[in-house]
Structure 1
């Protein structure tokens, strides 16, 4: 037993040294757990963020002032009051993403029960702000004008009022959900790539033959790759959660990070085994890349990290319940976003352990076959 553990430790250290001498893989790990997470969480915001807006107020009434005051940070920059000539010039030069034209007698027509129109011009070249911002502005105009008319006319109170409370993400920040989902995706992707590439590298460099003549077993070889590559991803994940998710993006972590990392270790046990299995099937790095694409895309899209599993067909939900990513997504979101404890996520921990054992056994059998 002592000799076997020593072999696993020494082979794992060899894997870490080999990875450190591969600059492409090192750069991939750093990018995947830094800029990839940040860009994915902030690339296409669901709400406008500090969007520039200008207003042509031809009515200069109480309701027009109310509309102008409704555009506030962090969604919109303070509105700039301009005239018609400045509106066209500002849109052409890209100074304003949105321009709002409030026509004369807007308040009078509104109180008279007519349907006055407000012109909204949108610079659609600012694609990240244009679509979400236009809908946001329409909602602001509707809410403010409705509140003004009801307050002026003294409309009867509604028989009931629905009070909506946003749990866990009160401001509906898309980056909170997007950053956690991207961390999950990067953990899955890199663990499969690193272990699969480590096995392919052994075959391409001819070191696999050296291992075969040494007093080591396929189980020791596999365990060494699993713990070494899993440790690299686990450390990168912990640093990313602290430096990128919490400090850079400002996402509040509700639960215990140590509990999440324990679940991550079980998930890595399954995905690194999957990477070794794919490494035994592929004969070169390009083949491994194609296999990973075929496996990784369904794992990420159908696991619940992109769309809710409840919206998927029952057959797909049943099949994906056998995938480790499905249970890891539930665990990660429960711990990091909702502050769940082990009393809530223990079914996911058990599922990850069971799936990991199955994948490990299948990969070990495949590895023994290829090494004979």
Structure 2
């Protein structure tokens, strides 16, 4: 009981020390507000409100249907443009796309011919220029179908037709995925930096020496930092999930928030130990930043949040199985996106717990050696 009381009291000391650090408080607030909201709203790669103009050389019912089908939120209302003004408008960057509907468009469709429609894209808008022509192609094919004589020809019918149904994100809004993924990434970076900074702050200020003269065990110091900083991350992450993701962004969460919180506690058990372990390898905050950032970048890029894990080389996939963030990303996406229950995600929880146990044992040995060197 004395050990538990020491861990609780040391954890309270950690919280008070953190609340007196304005830089860390700003980092926490920024990571779970602007860092989540801004990428979800601005950094998506979908075609949204793209400027477009139409050169209608046919002025037929088919061409007007195509023009009227170019609707928000994919495109802004299309502007009318003369063919002679296309180069000038594109050189000035007035439009991202210009569609040239040829003369006799509807007439050729009635005859069963395939007229050529030209789409000019401004490649300086790389993400929209890459995706936009495919959207335009689908819109044109859909609108001219009633006018095409070959649509009733059995030889021209699709032998296999793909019907796609999106259950949890029917409009395929990329911002929904970005917001959740930002929270997952920020949980990792804050857990590492808060615990590592807590160790180095006491080492630089000389307070570790004061603690060592007290009847305290190294594991009491370590677990106090783990629960205190982990609690801060949990509170900040859950507040961001409710206030920013569900509130400001309007992203529906399909799964159980309580189950996600349980998985978050298990994940923080391992990743906070990783932060302390990294802090035992260096002597100052600048050195810790240089060491922690590459570790976080590897965790962020190779854990399955940014790039699908199945797309990576097999050797790299096996290596990343020993990194807790890989299992946390899979757990979070299953719970928050696909409404998975405990019976579906318990293997990921078990893996995170086992990895966290191994990290904690190794970190405790490193922490003991660091304290022994200080003494």
Q: TM-score, normalised to structure 1's length?
A: 0.92
- Separation in structure 2 between the aligned mates of residue 60 and residue 163 of structure 1, nearest angstrom: 33
Partner of 2:287: 287
- Alpha-carbon spacing, 1:294–1:46, altered in 2? closer, same or farther (3 Å): closer
Which is worse superposed, 31-40 or 94-103? 94-103
- In the alignment, structure 1 segments of 5+ residues that lack a partner are none
Q: How far 1:106 sits from its partner (Å)? A: 2.4
Partner of 1:342: 342
Two-structure CA RMSD over aligned residues (Å): 2.2
Determine if the alignment matches structure 1 residue 266 to structure 2 residue 266: yes
- Alpha-carbon spacing, 1:262–1:132, altered in 2? closer, same or farther (3 Å): same
Partner of 1:179: 179
Partner of 2:246: 246
- Alpha-carbon spacing, 1:320–1:338, altered in 2? closer, same or farther (3 Å): same
Partner of 1:7: 6
How many residues were matched structurally? 370
- Separation in structure 2 between the aligned mates of residue 223 and residue 167 of structure 1, nearest angstrom: 42
- Separation in structure 1 between the aligned mates of residue 89 and residue 12 of structure 2, nearest angstrom: 61
- Separation in structure 2 between the aligned mates of residue 82 and residue 123 of structure 1, nearest angstrom: 16
Q: How does 1:2-151 map to 2 (within 5 A)?
A: 3-84=2-83, 91=90, 94-112=93-111, 114-145=113-144, 147-150=145-148
- Alpha-carbon spacing, 1:85–1:23, altered in 2? closer, same or farther (3 Å): farther
Find the residue that maps to 1:101 and give its secondary structure: strand
Which is worse superposed, 286-295 or 76-85? 76-85
- Alpha-carbon spacing, 1:19–1:280, altered in 2? closer, same or farther (3 Å): same
CA contact (8 A) 2:277 2:363 kept: yes
- Separation in structure 2 between the aligned mates of residue 247 and residue 127 of structure 1, nearest angstrom: 31
Q: How far 1:4 sits from its partner (Å)? A: 2.1
CA contact (8 A) 2:109 2:149 kept: no
Q: Deviations over 1:144-191 (max 9, x none)?
A: 44x245466522254553322223322222122222222111111110
- Separation in structure 2 between the aligned mates of residue 308 and residue 143 of structure 1, nearest angstrom: 32
- Separation in structure 2 between the aligned mates of residue 143 and residue 24 of structure 1, nearest angstrom: 55
Determine if the alignment matches structure 1 residue 323 to structure 2 residue 323: yes
Q: TM-score, normalised to structure 2's length?
A: 0.91
CA contact (8 A) 1:47 1:136 kept: no
- Separation in structure 2 between the aligned mates of residue 134 and residue 162 of structure 1, nearest angstrom: 20
- Separation in structure 2 between the aligned mates of residue 266 and residue 213 of structure 1, nearest angstrom: 32
Find the residue that maps to 1:281 and give its secondary structure: coil
Partner of 2:209: 209
Q: How far 1:268 sits from its partner (Å)? A: 0.4
